[in-house]
Structure 1
Amino acid sequence: MNSKKYSGSFFLFVYFYITKCKAEMEPFIVGGHFTKISKFPHSVFLTVECENTWICGSSILNQKILLTAAHCVFGCKTRWKIQCSAGDEDLSKVNVIREAAGFKIHEKYDDKSMANDIAILDLKRNLPLNRYMKRVIIRRSHPVGVLASVAGWGVTNRETNADSIVLKMATQKVLPPWLCARFGYLGPGKMCAKSPTPNTSPAQGDSGSALITKDFQQLGLVSFIFSDYPNIPVYTNVSYYYDWIRSKSFLLYCD
């Protein structure tokens, strides 16, 4: 999918009891290495069919709600289908497949500036949470400078545009806002990161994939990259949207 130009100690398990109701920007793991789903059990692969078909990543908020980028589902109006594959690093072996019943895009999402690039999906059937499918943790704030990881099934080679059917991961270091600003304007709710390994970053098809710490705290989700700085991915800062995620997840879950 082609996009257009252009931190409390409280934490959130989005869980509800059953009784509770240029810069040119690319949607983006180039480089990195293959990994196991048990190390990234929150990862869910999305196949989005609207006017065209494209792929994205997402993360598990609870057994029925997924978190992704707004641009992954933007433009899906009357006729659409979103298939969600989970539970295995190899897409050819996935046996847990769900369809989305609906989704909510942030009300102030801007498809040109990529502001407020966040959305949630509601599944028709619950995911069977286990060691291969686990929830992420979202806190109201998180530290800068930490090492985190991003995993996805997107493009693995920018020259050939070859997609991967096996999950890949890349290590990322969250950069301070003043340093991110050197690469281009980032409004509120954005953050950037860089891999300690050269030529390693999220790529096309990794949009919506989670940036997480080793304890499964989600810091961000892949939003875009500046074409002039392909190894500096920009993420939606999920802590910034803590209250939005909580309220919209409740509405979808109890709808």
Structure 2
Amino acid sequence: MAIYDKKHRMRVLIIFRKLTTVFKIVRCELNPFITGGNFVKYNKYPHSVYIVFACNFRFLCGGSVLNQAIILTSAHCFEGCDVKKYEKVEVKYGHEKITNMKSVNMKKFVLHEKFDDSSLIHDVSLLLTVKNIPLSNSVKRVVLMKRPPTAEYAYVSGWGMDEKNKLQAAMKHTYARIQKTEVCKSMGSLPWGVFCAGPLTGVGAADEGDSGGALVVNDCIQIGLVSYKVRKLSLVAYTNVSLYLDWIKKHARALRCSG
């Protein structure tokens, strides 16, 4: 799925056309989009997943492994999905190359009850897989903390096209400078619980298709979820996951126990 463009609300038609073009070339190369950045081995980000949605239309998002059956991603990724019925959502994991990834289907999902798709406040969700994802040396949980370490830079990863619209078949990553509030104001009024990171302009940021992906420090500590950007800047707005730790714990337990 394209990262949400809050200002211009570029949505289904443009996204669908891009995905149709991509599917004609190769099935798994959808369009997560790290501008700039470098190719990287999966073991650098063993918590990362690639989520293919087929609700009202086909698109994708990123996400991260919380445990064997729970994935953390952004709420806006589920646009067009009905929480009350079975939806075809596939979670891919385990390798930097898309063609070598394993997959498992989603069983159910939950959105933050106060999520608003206009302001993108509370842009956080969880999904439950139909069977466990085997954890190993190559697939690991992400770490969540209420008080994560302070850092000047963090990293975000994804699969797919680059800034030249060149199709990629393997994971890429880039670093993002965690910006001060004064800089983030250039994006307009940010929702509660959101911070921004990345360069003001140019390449080196999350972009189309990276929604729901993890922004991490110290390799495995997740501090943010890719939420949206405004078209004129390269800055990206991230949901601050440390503020949602209690919500995540409560609903992850409820999803897991509901079977």
Q: What interval of TM-score do these two structures reach, taking the shorter chain for normalisation?
A: 0.7 to 0.9
What is the aligned partner in structure 2 of residue 89 from structure 1?
A: 96
What is the aligned partner in structure 2 of residue 152 from structure 1?
A: 158
SS in 2 for 1:252: helix
Higher helix share: 2
Map 1:30-179 onto structure 2 (within 5 A).
30-77=35-82, 78=85, 80-94=87-101, 96-142=102-148, 145-157=151-163, 160=165, 162-179=166-183
Shift of 1:97: 0.9
SS in 1 for 2:141: coil
Shift of 1:184: 1.3
Structure 1 residue identity aligned to 2:139:
M
SS in 1 for 2:63: strand
Larger mean CA deviation between 68-77 and 38-47 belongs to 68-77
Structure 1 residue identity aligned to 2:196:
C
Q: Is the 8 A contact 1:34 1:166 kept in 2?
A: yes
User: Aligned pair in 2 of structure 1 residues 235, 129: CA closer, same or farther (>3 Å)?
Assistant: same
Aligned length: 236
SS in 2 for 1:51: coil
Shift of 1:24: 5.2
Q: Is the 8 A contact 1:29 1:206 kept in 2?
A: yes
Q: In 2, Cα distance between the equivalents of 1:51 and 1:249? A: 25
SS in 2 for 1:148: strand
Structure 1 residue identity aligned to 2:73:
T
- TM-score normalised per structure 1: 0.85
Shift of 1:112: 1.2
Q: Is the 8 A contact 1:155 1:206 kept in 2?
A: no
What percentage of residue pairs aligned between the two structures are identical? 36
User: Aligned pair in 2 of structure 1 residues 131, 117: CA closer, same or farther (>3 Å)?
Assistant: same
Q: Is the 8 A contact 2:50 2:61 kept in 1?
A: yes
Q: In 2, Cα distance between the equivalents of 1:5 and 1:206? A: 12
* Runs of at least 5 residues in structure 1 that lack an aligned partner in the other structure: 7-21
Q: In 2, Cα distance between the equivalents of 1:4 and 1:132? A: 30
* Runs of at least 5 residues in structure 2 that lack an aligned partner in the other structure: 12-31
Pairwise CA RMSD? 2.2
Q: Is the 8 A contact 1:146 1:173 kept in 2?
A: yes
Q: In 1, Cα distance between the equivalents of 2:150 and 2:79? A: 30
Q: Is the 8 A contact 1:222 1:236 kept in 2?
A: yes
Larger mean CA deviation between 96-105 and 196-205 belongs to 196-205
- Does residue 217 of structure 2 align to residue 217 of structure 1? no
